Amino acid sequence: MAVKIRLARRGRKKAAIYDIVVADARAPRDGKFIEKLGTYNPNTNPASIDFSEEKAFQWLMNGAQPTDTVKAMLSYRGILYKKHLQIGVAKGAISQETADARFEEWKQAKEAKIEGKRTTLGSEKEAKRKAAFEAETKVKEARAEAIRQREAAKLAADAPAAEGEEATEAPAAEGESTEEQA
């Protein structure tokens, strides 16, 4: 009986979430399975991969064949590297302590890389938010300045008209006073 480690789809339309399962190769995609190892959510950035690494390693060592997608996930998490090291231990090429040390070193480097990506994505998001806020502030200030200029133009337009009325009244008053003096 061929056993595969593969994905079983669940979730609603256009928002799929997958279960990582061990199933008979002849079973349908979403049908009967032997054991559920974990979940995979491709909708997040970076994609969320949550599964039991010990069980996956055990199934790989017993001969289960992963599908291409699951193989990429196992490689991403270091399970295939761990299997490679364990085969070296079984053949006597390296000791178990050396294999464990290499795997822990690799895992720490990988975790640092993943955390770096998360912080980069977070800082980029924050930078975009700040840039949008600054652009919005500039637009708001430009609108406020345009309103102030319109108000000043209205006051300036009203002021000469009022001065013009005073100017026409003032010469008439001056004219009357000059005639009285003469």
Residues written for the chain: 182
Q: What is the pLDDT of residues 48-94, one digit of tens each?
A: 899 999 999 999 999 999 999 999 999 998 999 999 998 998 888 88
Compute the Cα dihedral for 27, 32, 38, 39 and give only its sign: positive
The pLDDT of residue 165 is 60
Summarize the confidence of residues 161-165 as an average pLDDT. 61
The pLDDT of residue 181 is 54
Domains of the chain: 3-94 (3.30.1320.10)
What is the layout of strands, in order, in the sheet containing 3-12? 48-51, 35-41, 15-24, 3-12, 65-66
Tell me the average pLDDT of the chain. Answer: 85
Q: Note if the pTM is more than 0.85.
A: no
